[in-house]
């Protein structure tokens, strides 16, 4: 399966991608995670992207299109993949089409802006491995410590409330139009994000089983 996950920042794309990836045995490609790793490793691309990512603005299209082109050529993508956070603009979606990538579906997880702000304020991420937690909905076994690697849990810089509002604005202006783009291609699936992760997962897996 070749799947795009759409949705506002914090709608739960990363959370669901992890579950779908395991169930269908296909890799998740998260442009956000790739850029954050580049930033951490101090690569040229990471340094270029830093100002954008910290302030919640979109990294220029040519940079992320380059990342995706390279990643999709890896052998583990041959049987399918999940794109989490790409495309985010119409030019990015057109670039994907021009690469000859024919996705099966673009699944949009819909969550109200107010709920998003609440969720983001509770998100904590591991500064070592990037695993994601929540102070209320997905607590680690030990406060402030990553279950997976023992790393320290921190607040993502772009999860500060003002930046979250800016990211939501950008989402509505630049990314939400992708719903019409994929509706025209008859590939759009809408899932209403639920309060419980497992309830959203149930709806997502049901929708995917019907493709």
Within 13 A of 36's CA, how many CA atoms are on the CB side?
A: 18
> What track of x and - describes contact with ligand AP5 for positions 127 through 146 (by CB under 6 A)?
-----x-x--xx--------
**Active-site hit among 13, 36, 71, 124:** 13
48 carries an active-site annotation: no
> What track of x and - describes contact with ligand AP5 for positions 17 through 56 (by CB under 6 A)?
-------------xxx--x----------------xx--x
Figure out which of the listed residues 168, 200, 204, 208 binds ligand AP5, where binding follows CB under 6 A.
Answer: 200
Residue 140, classed as helix, strand or coil, is: coil
88 carries an active-site annotation: yes
Contact 131, 137 (CB under 8 A): no
Q: What is the DSSP letter of 189?
A: E
**Active-site hit among 71, 119, 124, 167:** 167
Nearer to ligand AP5, 85 or 188 (CB): 85
H/E segment holding residue 68: helix 61-72
Contact 211, 1 (CB under 8 A): yes
Q: Which amino acids are annotated catalytic?
A: 13, 88, 123, 156, 167
């Amino acid at each position: 399966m070749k799947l795009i996950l759409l949705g506002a920042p914090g709608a739960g794309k990363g959370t669901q991608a992890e579950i779908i990836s395991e169930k269908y045995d296909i890799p998740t490609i998260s442009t956000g995670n790739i850029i954050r790793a580049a930033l951490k490793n101090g690569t040229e691309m990471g340094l270029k992207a830093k100002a954008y990512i910290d302030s919640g603005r979109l990294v220029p299209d040519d940079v992320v299109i380059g990342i995706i082109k390279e990643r999709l050529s890896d052998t583990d993508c041959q049987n399918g993949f999940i794109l989490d956070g790409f495309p985010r603009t119409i030019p990015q979606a057109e670039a994907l089409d021009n690469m000859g990538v024919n996705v099966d579906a673009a699944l949009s997880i819909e969550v109200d802006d107010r709920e998003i702000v609440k969720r983001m304020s509770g998100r904590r991420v591991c500064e070592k491995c990037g695993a994601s937690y929540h102070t209320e909905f997905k607590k680690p076994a030990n406060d402030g410590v990553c279950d997976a690697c023992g790393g320290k849990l921190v607040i993502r810089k772009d999860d500060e409330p003002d930046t979250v509002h800016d990211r939501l604005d950008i989402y509505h202006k630049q990314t939400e139009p992708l719903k019409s783009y994929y509706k025209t291609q008859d590939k759009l699936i809408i899932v209403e994000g639920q309060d419980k992760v497992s309830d959203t997962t149930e709806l997502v897996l049901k929708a995917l089983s019907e493709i």
